[in-house]
Structure 1
Amino acid sequence: MRSPITGTAAGVPFTALPPAHDGPAPLIVTWHMLDAPRSDAAFAAALPMDELPAWRVHLGMPMCGARMVDGSMDAGWELIQQDVLMSALHPFVRQATEEFPAALASIRAQLPVDDGPIGVLGGSLGGAVALRVLADTGVPVFAAALVNAAIRIRSVVDLFPGEYPYDAESAAVADGLDFVSRAAAIAGRAPLLVVSGELDHPALRTDASELVDAVGDRAELLTVPGLAHPLADEPGIEPAPQLPLAREVDAGLTAWFRRHLPGSHLQDSD
């Protein structure tokens, strides 16, 4: 196993895990959770997918990891307390999606990745970014995966105390981040694996099942017994040893992406 490579791509921090073999290889891009693991480096440690003959480039979400304010998540939590949807969840997803094309171009310039379709993976709020890449961009994708994902942003908002005061603007934002209702835009883009922890928040588990049903034949649901929402222990910012349940998720993701990698690379997987 080769050492991680850290850097920035068009201003976006990343942790890149190279394949075992030399030469150009497919690219899988990920976006992490706001729960643990809540940085690109920690997400890379939790879900390294080491056996894949592909580059796994884990991008940092806004205000997380290297982009934390004053070295802590406090500023992000303050935005959540101010207005969970319009000050935090929506801006984070919007920024991560909007900065992705330039980051992808920079990754291709920095690393020996091939120029074919990419894989995308998102955990929790990072799942909404992966879904927006599928629904709202034309970036070619060979396979996609979600883990305990924010599939309907209203379900995430409901996890926070109090009744959220939707108005016309915030309701429209929430509608745009309801990917069950946007399944038709996702269905033709790429095969989709939806990983759902058995002990994840009930609404998120319902959303996972309904997204798979709505997308149809190209979507699969993988339920992981005993898995709650996080994939790592707190504080979840620095890389940590992989937890047993995260190892199960990692194995499922590895098998999924291996199935869908461009065939010319499968022979290099030993």
Structure 2
Amino acid sequence: MQSSITGTAAGVPFTALPPPGDGPAPLIVTWHMLDAPRSDAAFAAALPMDGLPAWRVHLGMPMCGARMVDGSVDAVGELIREDVLMSFLHPFVRQATEELPAALASIRAQLPVEDGPIGVLGGSLGGAVALRVLADTEIPVFAGAVVNAAIRMRSVVELFPGDYPYDAESEKAVDSLDFLADADTIAGRAPLMVVSGELDHPGLRADALRLVDALGPESELLSISGLAHPLAEEPGIEPAPQLPLAREVDSGLTRWFRRHLAP
């Protein structure tokens, strides 16, 4: 991995990987998984996209990495036990999305990035953030990609034990994070690559295939044989050597973003 730059942007920790060469370059912003790799630094190591003529700035999700409470993920586990949707999944995606405009302005003040449209990339729950940026904001985006993403939040809730007790508020919240319903909006915003491990959770895998069908010809499916949900080994907090299957994902993402960067 190239030498990284660490810092904070409007309170959001980041790990930035510079492009080769000098001068301003386009920007790709990413959000990591809550499975391994579960920090911005670890995600940068798993999917560095080396050689791209663009800055790759990996943002930390709430309560992860440098924002962990007492240096552990125990606080996240407590939120999951409290209410997996309303205390954990929904507010995490909402906060990460709402942090982006101020973080983006801070990144542009700190790093020599161009002012044009950005690329967006998210893994797992971070994928929901990237999709929400496309579906619910007006931030210009030249291309996006998601990896084993939370495309339909009901499918994610179903991964946790027990039957979730939906009420009017939680039904509204979970429906606001159903990006199959937003496929037309997303397709009109930017081309999207959907990376899906063939061994990912069946519900998430099915959602990925459905999203590609709904998006139409501007989207692309990259199906990775042998890939389950994580992209790194546990504990997934510190940077670790890139796994072979993550390297395959990384290669596909690099090709995708290179194709859509301006000449």
In the aligned structure 1, how far is the partner of 2:187 from the partner of 2:21?
A: 33
CA distance in 1, matches of 2:41, 2:21: 22
Q: Which residue does 2:140 correspond to in 1?
A: 140
Aligned to 1:195: 195
The answer to whether the Cα contact below 8 Å between 1:196 and 1:205 also exists between their aligned partners in 2 is yes
Equivalent in the alignment of 2:156:
156
Q: Which amino acid aligns with 1:53?
A: P
Match of 1:53 in 2: 53
- 1:231–1:246 contact (8 Å) kept in structure 2: yes
Q: Is the 8 Å Cα contact of residues 117 and 140 (structure 2) preserved in structure 1? A: yes
Partner in structure 2 of residue 85 of structure 1? 85
RMSD: 0.6
Q: Percent identity?
A: 82
- Once the 2 structures are TM-superposed, how far is the Cα of residue 2 of structure 1 from its aligned partner? 3.8
Secondary structure in 2 aligned to 1:99? helix
TM norm structure 1 = 0.97
Tell me if structure 1 keeps the 8 A contact 2:149–2:204. Answer: yes
Q: Which residue of 1 aligns with 2:249?
A: 249
Q: Unaligned regions of 5+ residues in structure 1, if any?
A: 264-270
Q: SS at the partner of 1:188?
A: helix
Q: Give distance in 1, aligned partners of 2:120 and 2:23.
A: 21
Letter in 1 for 2:57: V
Per-residue Cα deviation, 1:44-64 (whole angstroms, up to 9, x for no partner): 000000020110000000000
Q: Which amino acid aligns with 2:144?
A: A
Matched AA of 1:131: L
- Structure 2 residue ranges without an equivalent (≥5): none
Q: What is the CA–CA distance in structure 2 between the aligned matches of 1:132 and 1:138, rounded to whole Å?
A: 11
Q: How far off is 1:244 after superposition?
A: 0.3
User: Which aligned pairs between 1:158-237 and structure 2 lie closer than 5 A?
Assistant: 158-237=158-237
Q: Counterpart in 1 of 2:4?
A: 4
Q: Deviations over 1:189-247 (max 9, x none)?
A: 00000000010001001000111111111111110000000000000000000000000
Q: What is the TM-score when the length of structure 2 is the normalising length?
A: 0.99
Cα distance per residue 1:60-92 (max 9 Å; x no partner): 000000000000000011101110000000010
Q: How many residues align?
A: 263
Structure 1 residue runs of 4 or more that deviate by more than 3 Å after TM superposition: none
Give the letter aligned to residue 96 of structure 2.
A
